[in-house]
Structure 1
Amino acid sequence: MKKGQLGVWLLGIVSLIMLMGGLNLSVHAATSDQSLARVKAKGTLVMGTSPNYPPYEFQVNEHGQAKIVGMDVELGKQIAHDLGVKLVVKKLAFDSLLPALTTGKVDMILSGMSPTPARRKSVDFTNIYYTEGEALLVNRADQAKYANKKALAGQKVAAETGTLQYNLIKQQLPAAKLTGMSSAANLILALKTHKVAAVVKGTASATAYAKNDPSLVAINGHFKTSTAQAGNAIALKKGSTSLKQAINRSLAKVKRHGWIQKRYLKTAGKYLKVNTANTSMWHYRDYFIKGLQYTLLIAVVGIITGSILGLLLTLLRVSAGRPLRWLATAYVEFVRGTPLMVQIMFVYFGIGMFVDVSALTAGIIAIGLNSAAYLSEIIRGGIQAVDKGQTEAAASLGLSQWATLRYVVLPQTLKIIWPSLGNQFINLIKDTSMVSIIGVTELIYQLGIVQADTYRGVAPIGVAMVIYFVICWLLTRVLRYYERRINHGQTV
């Protein structure tokens, strides 16, 4: 055999080996991906969404019950049907959707999300299912003044943080003053109160707001978007190849039949009319009642667990050995040195990676752990304020350390710290609003939903303020009643 022929044969053999190796890797990757199998095994497809973005996803008050509807929800139902499973919709703040996906809280994000290059680094995206432009939403009175995006130079222009629109303002309106907000409802409120000159939203959403609010008008923004990020896609966890392929097949069928325009958008439009038929706050009273119930539940459990854990931390800090005292001190300092919102997200997304906890449970745990640190400091300060002569007298009478603490020190401590305890309890009630970021339907979360559903910005805020005031006023009266009993030597 000639040397040239030998070389050709060797090259062919090497190429065949490399090809077989590549095929084996592809087969291994395909078989190791269990994303579709897991969804089918549990029988549910969990869709993460932020329901304050009509007509994509929003809530309606149907027969007194809150219901998440919209174009994306209809699409999610079709995908679940094609997969042979049931759709479960989980509501979260938009900023919390990506952490929820990467930690396994949801199987997919279907929330009008654009597949930007930055997002593609952390999650996978399906094919584009809907393409639209970007619109400027302005007050009708300012329509002539802000006829195009160039006229917004030097003006405040707003968008939801973490969205494509936010980045487009940054890139294509450098002369404007960018303002980011966490919810669509807050954006519209800022616009209507002239805090910002314009809001950038997707055309479908901007048109929906303009149609249902005569004081607003939608203008073509003429923003330029790259092919890679134009339109909306479904976000999936990295490596979910089999689930992505199955969803893409479903999206291809939806596109082939034109169901988004023929069915889903029309269904969303009907629900929008339901919302705007009666926008009185009394009509949405069940929303506020439900929010109040969750707020009180979180506050009461947080006060109880925080008080017990706070007392335990205090006892460790004043009477335990050095290692336990150091640990208790470190805990208090760490909790007081980090924001409550971050703690809530850590409990839900961080611990939730190992233990599946609901949003409500995570919120209660975070509130309880946070309040314990502050209550521990209040109790410790009260114990230190008790005259040392009291403990010396108790010791001379033969009382043990525990008996002295129980019968001498703590009763006097309670009298000293009662006003501070009351103030902390009131603050805790207001701090429950933080759990709305992980989708707990407490008062502030329900406030945002009512704003999005009714296109009214100020009225829902007024209702929530009154409810919070009544709760805190009643708690203040109760605390003062028991304060008078303590000061007169009566038991609580």
Structure 2
Amino acid sequence: MKKAWKWLESILLLMILLTIIPQNVGAASKTAPKVTDNYLQKVKQKGELIMGTSPDFPPYEFVKNINGKSKVEGIDVEIGKKVAHDLGVKLVVRTMDFDSLLVALETGKIDMVISGMDATPKRAQSVDFSHAYYKSGQDLLIRTSDKNKYHDYHSFAGKAIGAQTGSLQATLIKEQAKKVTLKTMDKDSDLILGLQTKKFDAVAVDTATAGAFAKNTSGITAIPSGFKVDSAGSAIAFHKGAKSLVNAANKSIAEIKQKDLINQVYLPKAGKYLTNGKNQKAAKASNSMWAYKDFFIAGVGYTLFISAISVFFGFLLGAILALMRLSHNQFAHTIAKAYIEFVRGTPLMVQLLFIYFGLGLIINIPALLSGIIAVALNSAAYVAEVIRSGVSSIAKGQTEASRSLGLSRSATMRYVIMPQAMKNIWPALGNEFVSLIKESSIVSVIGVKDLIYQSRIVQADTYRGVMPLVITMILYFIITFSLSSLMKVFERKMKHD
């Protein structure tokens, strides 16, 4: 009996130990979590930290013309440099629209987002934030002539306020300014232009940004917004689960705060770039459109390059699709028809974003290549229908006569049908090529430095909204008019032949 009790005591003691030990281990793991992700290791292996930003948000990030070259500067860039330096890697800055930043982060195009982004609870559901590195208030930019008319957002009942798409300001207006009409745009420079041209009555921005715009844009002033903000401040966003990078960034941010680098170094440096450190006459000369000629030339170069490559491959693929659709092979006919109908039935913007971001989950395609692929694939569907209609317009007697003379089906198509079809469809092809040049401007949304992208840089850098657009319009007209004239020369030669 005593042996039985001893065995029973031993079993009870063992059970107690087994229940206590895991709890202690669990408690230890809670107090000292281990970071097991490999995000930091990957960054160090490739030797670069890719930062995504939308450079139209001074003094956080903005583009400046430095010795004829565009360069992204601002508080956020300095913070990015600090984090990269502490990791022992090189900082690479990639620019894109603000509402595309988190998508780029999710698909692995960038390693972090530093773009004056507030760490809100909603955003924290999809990304991991560092500690806040800077907290600023919220202001409203208004026209100087309306200074005595408005005091805060309550004064804008029945009026329209503009905000950047996907921004904290847009959310605040939706949630708190119920009687206000919200109008969103992708770029702050477009919002300022909208304010100047009376498309809306105010623009909601960060206090630091409001100060930069008010100081450098005539006819605009800033007033307190009156919004109640539930945000810790601006923070660095990382991929969900990238705790190793978050911890590394927090160490850098702690040093930045300890030394007060933002107020002592970063803000003064950004201020010098914004004012150029020049007198009024020199500043005016540096903001002339002629000073930015290299930007427009570079934009024209990118636009022509994208258009030329896209026209070549678009025509090649379009011809193949047209022949497939005209083929008696049911499988080839179905594939071509499905492709043409799908591409023509979906917006080019969606196709571009899918190739750049969607396929980015599988393979990392550079922005320029993504733009060329999207424009070429889109154009191919329209070219295919143009060629098909041209071939169908040729009388069946032509084919029958050729076959009766002993020509094969392929020879008939090559030597009899296609030469006549090309004469018929040449004007339509010309229109498609001209349209392609204009539609290629959409690649600017993923950061390709085409003509539209460069014009936005000039807008942001000079705080002049209309003149860069006028220059861009003129340049596009010169390009398309030249192409149309060249196509007409070939058309006349075809008619003569």
Confirm or deny a common fold (TM above 0.5): yes
Task: State the percentage of identical aligned residues.
Answer: 48
Residue identity in the other structure for 1:273: T
Distance 2:41 2:306 in 1: 37
Of residues 236, 245, 250, the one that matches 2:238 is: 236
- Match of residue 409 from structure 1: 417
Distance of aligned partners of 1:282 and 1:245 in 2 relative to their CA distance in 1, 3 Å threshold: same
- Match of residue 423 from structure 1: 431
Q: Does 1:174 align with 2:178?
A: yes
Distance 2:253 2:161 in 1: 34
- Which range is displaced more, 289-298 or 139-148? 139-148
Distance 1:334 1:387 in 2: 29
Contact 1:70 1:264 in 2 (8 A): yes
Distance of aligned partners of 1:27 and 1:428 in 2 relative to their CA distance in 1, 3 Å threshold: farther
Aligned-pair distance for 1:337? 0.9
| Residues 4-30 of structure 1: CA deviation (Å, up to 9, x unaligned) | 999797455313224436767999962
Give the SS at the match of 1:211: helix
Distance 1:415 1:464 in 2: 33
Of residues 176, 184, 191, the one that matches 2:188 is: 184
Q: Does 1:97 align with 2:101?
A: yes
Distance 1:55 1:65 in 2: 19
Distance of aligned partners of 1:403 and 1:44 in 2 relative to their CA distance in 1, 3 Å threshold: same
Of residues 34, 52, 55, the one that matches 1:51 is: 55
- Which range is displaced more, 357-366 or 277-286? 277-286
Of residues 211, 214, 225, the one that matches 1:207 is: 211
| Residues 273-329 of structure 1: CA deviation (Å, up to 9, x unaligned) | 129552111111111111111000000111000000000011111115111211111
Residue identity in the other structure for 1:15: I
Superposed counterparts of 1:91-490, under 5 Å: 91-226=95-230, 229-274=231-276, 276-277=283-284, 278-489=286-497
Distance of aligned partners of 1:285 and 1:30 in 2 relative to their CA distance in 1, 3 Å threshold: same
Distance 2:67 2:105 in 1: 32
| Residues 209-262 of structure 1: CA deviation (Å, up to 9, x unaligned) | 000113100111121011xx2311100001101111011011001001100011
Residue identity in the other structure for 2:364: D
Long gaps (5+) in structure 1: none
Aligned-pair distance for 1:136? 0.2
Q: Does 1:82 align with 2:83?
A: no
Distance 1:27 1:411 in 2: 76
Distance 2:436 2:291 in 1: 29
- Which range is displaced more, 268-277 or 126-135? 268-277
Distance of aligned partners of 1:488 and 1:213 in 2 relative to their CA distance in 1, 3 Å threshold: same
Long gaps (5+) in structure 2: 278-282
Residue identity in the other structure for 2:178: P
Give the SS at the match of 1:39: helix
Distance of aligned partners of 1:249 and 1:388 in 2 relative to their CA distance in 1, 3 Å threshold: same
Contact 2:162 2:200 in 1 (8 A): yes
Distance 2:47 2:268 in 1: 29
Aligned-pair distance for 1:82? 0.8
Give the SS at the match of 1:282: helix
Distance of aligned partners of 1:309 and 1:133 in 2 relative to their CA distance in 1, 3 Å threshold: same
How many residue pairs end up in the alignment?
A: 486
Distance of aligned partners of 1:60 and 1:320 in 2 relative to their CA distance in 1, 3 Å threshold: farther
Q: Does 1:30 align with 2:35?
A: yes
Of residues 29, 36, 39, the one that matches 2:43 is: 39
Aligned-pair distance for 1:46? 0.6
Distance of aligned partners of 1:306 and 1:146 in 2 relative to their CA distance in 1, 3 Å threshold: same
Residue identity in the other structure for 2:375: I
- Match of residue 15 from structure 1: 20
TM, length-normalised to structure 2: 0.94
- Which range is displaced more, 150-159 or 21-30? 21-30
Residue identity in the other structure for 2:390: G
Residue identity in the other structure for 2:25: M
Distance of aligned partners of 1:35 and 1:320 in 2 relative to their CA distance in 1, 3 Å threshold: farther
Contact 1:160 1:187 in 2 (8 A): yes
Distance 1:152 1:179 in 2: 13
Contact 2:151 2:224 in 1 (8 A): no
Distance of aligned partners of 1:479 and 1:257 in 2 relative to their CA distance in 1, 3 Å threshold: same
Distance 1:234 1:149 in 2: 28
- Which range is displaced more, 113-122 or 469-478? 113-122
| Residues 39-82 of structure 1: CA deviation (Å, up to 9, x unaligned) | 11111111011111111111111111111111100111111111
TM, length-normalised to structure 1: 0.95
Residue identity in the other structure for 1:249: K
